[in-house]
Amino acid sequence: MLQNNPLLAQLKQQIRETTPRAEGVIKATDKGFGFLETDDGQSYFVPPPAMKQVLHGDRVQAVIHENGDKTSVEPDTLLEAGLSRFIARVQKREGRLAVVPDHPSINNVLKARIKNSLDEASIGDADWVVARLVRHPLKPEDRAFFTQIDELVAKADDPAVPWRVTLARHALEQECPEAGSDWPLRDEGLEREDLTAEPFFTIDGEKTRDMDDALRIEPRDEGGWRLTVAIADPTAYVEEGHAADLEARTRAFTVYLPGQNVTMLPEQLADDLCSLREGEERPVLACTLNVEADGSLGDYRFFAARVRSQAKLVYDRISDWLEGQGEWTPAEEIASQLQALRELTEARSAWRTEYALVFKDRPDYVFDLDPAGNVLDVRIEQRRIANRMIEESMIAANACCAHFLAEHIGHGIFNVHRAFDPDKAQAAHEFLTAQQIEVELEALSELPRYKELKRALESRDDAWLDARLRRFQGFTSMSARPGPHFGLGLNAYATWTSPIRKYGDMVNHRLIKRVLKGEQAPAEATQALTEQLTERRKLNRMAERDVKDWLYVRYLTPAAKEQQAFEAEIFGITRGGMRVRLTANGATAFVPAPMIHSDRDKVVIDDKEGRIQVEGEERYKLGDTIRVALVEAREETRSLVARPAE
């Protein structure tokens, strides 16, 4: 009954108010102790006994203890648990059930129970599960950690573990949507122009099944080109509010992982009825746009149509042919179009370089897998001329879409990108000033002036400068209202060219059709929808990264055993070391400070400036290319460890 004594409670409160305290996030180490990191950058030591009451990532209040010149803290109040829903591996020992969170900084063994709806016999030792933290020792009336197993993700010996565990971690769907009923073509009250006799063609990867764009190009008598972009039309089959539409809205995107795609729409639609297959008649939403000889965009027209692709072309074959390599040759009518499309691409690229912005080409890394999911090879795919031809065509078509929606409706689903995070613009300006780059703060948020700055920076060809600026960059988000896309250097950008795999593009299709039919447009997309689209895109990219990290560890384990050396680019520097990307295969590895020099005191790491000194001399900086030797491949954390090879 003493627990409910008001005098005792009052005394405890007085003690709390007069005791020095700190608030922050727990950072665990593999040594048993940890640190409390506060929001203002201070760090307090947490001794091993106190660490048994908390987990890495917990946000807590703690009592500060002074013992001579040593300061430590003892957490006593949980503000926010670092774990809630999490992925774990089951541990069964002598009839006792526990889980170990699948987290690089948490190796605690947590007692567990199984959700009533699950069969305990079906869950074995080392199986992968979704668990939930239900008790925490810092919560009132809780004396220890306790968890509940809510879902079996994969058996320990399942070859699909990297995919299943990753999708479950990010709460993404494991399978494609149910196909549902038959899919008749809907009567939307649209007149579809018959373009089935026109020589449209698709360009995709060799294994692509969900082909959503076909092209037709003609030179214009007055100079320049007339390009028609025909886009697959899933909204011709899927009515707004239909179960398949609601499911697509939830998923937001098709998830593309090495060796596995989880489609946004039922496969019957994505890979068959909507896919612009060679020789098959398909409904499309199309845009014919004029491109002037200098690469600028002229008039455009959106319309509904029917097309029949006359050629399924592959990126590498086209690039080889255009570059005079290989034996493959396209049909004459297609060949002349490919030549024209190449000319258009060069003109558009030159125009965007001068008046907008062009991304630097980076290679893609493609995994070759066997049926069991083992990595046979990681291939480098460069951005060749055929890739650029499709890229420039889609950018032009999407720029037209943004203009069309802004002018006729005033809203849609737009991709908005700020060059710098608003919270970091001031710091970015101070950094540029320190580099003797004179620019006004306002120029960082004004597109025309930012484009001038970006061109000036690119002319320096300074890898360290580019890498440092990335710390301040903003992210692309979805918006219902038009806004600038600083990455592309365009006033507005709205995609409609991938409706099979992007729900936002389906929304834009429906809006364009409303205008074509002269109907009143619906209310603009809610903030909840645009935020969901942004968040799902982020989750998809994280899932792709996580699966690749897992596969890289498996693939490079033999190389780590042999301490094989690789060329690598430094892309991150932290207080603990540096992160590098292997140029041969795209894998990332961490080089800990003790690997840089045997005497840690001789290594000075400036993580803010992105520079590392060894024995008083600068040895490494962001953007440098160095040689590293892999020394460890840790599958439990999906991480690679390396050391400098020099």
Catalytic residue, candidates 102, 213, 546, 624:
213
- Average pLDDT of 333-343? 97
Q: Which region among 121-125, 171-175, 181-185, 632-636 has the lowest average model confidence (pLDDT)?
A: 181-185
Q: Is the pLDDT of residue 622 over 70?
A: yes
Phi, psi of 512 (to 5 degrees): -60, -45
Q: If you ran DSSP here, which 8-state letter would residue 221 be given?
A: T
- Mean pLDDT of the residues in the chain: 94
| Spatial distance between the Cα atoms of 610 and 588, rounded to a whole number of angstroms | 17
CB pairs under 8 A, 24+ apart, for 32-39?
A: 36/60, 36/62, 36/73, 36/75
Average pLDDT over residues 79-100: 94
Q: Which helix H or strand E contains 539, and what residues bound it?
A: helix 527-561
Question: What is the strand order of the sheet 225-232 is part of?
Answer: 193-195, 297-308, 281-291, 225-232, 213-219
Higher-confidence residue of 68 and 270: namely 270
Which of the residues 216, 251, 352, 501 is marked catalytic?
501
Both tokens of 473, joined, read: 């960059």
Q: How far apart are CA 455 and CA 131, in angstroms?
A: 50
Q: Is 245 a catalytic residue?
A: no
For residue 13, what pLDDT is reported? 60
pLDDT of 1 above 50:
no
- Taking the CA atoms of residue 402, residue 406, residue 412 and residue 418 in that order, the dihedral angle to the nearest 10 degrees is 60
Q: What pLDDT, on the 0 to 100 scale, is given for residue 361?
A: 82
Q: Flag the least confident range among 117-121, 277-281, 303-307, 328-332.
A: 117-121
Q: Is the pLDDT of residue 122 over 60?
A: yes
Q: In whole angstroms, what is the distance from residue 90 CA to residue 131 CA?
A: 10
Task: Please tell me the total number of residues recorded for the chain in this structure.
Answer: 646
The catalytic position among 102, 127, 210, 271 is 210
Q: Is 599 an active-site residue?
A: no
Q: Report the pLDDT value the prediction gives residue 4, as an integer from 0 to 100.
A: 57
Helices and strands in the chain: count of H runs, count of E runs: 14, 31
Whose tokens are 């490919």? That residue is 338
Which tens digits make up the pLDDT trace of 565-609?
999 999 999 989 999 999 999 999 999 999 999 898 999 999 999
| C-alpha span between 575 and 604 (Å, rounded) | 9
Q: What are the backbone angles phi and psi of residue 72, rounded to the nearest 5°?
A: -140, 170
Helix axes 315-322, 332-355, angle to 10 degrees: 90
Averaged over 63-84, what is the pLDDT? 93
Q: Which of 44, 237, 300, 315 is catalytic?
A: 315
The pLDDT of 91-112, averaged and rounded, is 93
Determine whether 212 is an active site residue.
yes
Asked if residue 7 has pLDDT above 80, the reply is: no
Could you tell me if residue 71 is left (phi over 0), alpha (psi between -120 and 50 degrees) or otherwise beta?
beta
> Is there a contact between 622 and 573 (Cβ–Cβ < 8 Å)?
yes
Task: Please determine, for residue 267, whether its predicted confidence score (pLDDT) is greater than 90.
Answer: yes
Q: Which of 58, 102, 204, 624 is catalytic?
A: 204
Among the options 212, 271, 505, 546, which is catalytic?
212
Residues 412-465 have pLDDT tens digits of: 999 999 999 989 999 999 999 999 999 999 999 999 999 999 999 998 889 999
Q: Is the pLDDT of residue 564 over 60?
A: yes
Q: Judge whether 315 counts as a catalytic residue.
A: yes
Q: Could you confirm whether 501 is annotated as catalytic? A: yes
- pLDDT score of 517 more than 90: yes
Decide if 606 is catalytic. Answer: no
Beta pairing, strands 281-291 & 297-308: antiparallel
Q: What share of the chain has pLDDT > 70, as a percent? A: 97
* Antiparallel, parallel or unpaired: β 96-101 and 85-93: antiparallel
Binned at pLDDT 50, 70 and 90, residue 352 comes out as very high
Start-end of H helices in 146-192: 161-169
Could you read off the pLDDT of 233-257 as tens digits, one per residue? 999 999 999 999 999 999 999 999 9
CB 142 within 8 A of CB 160: no
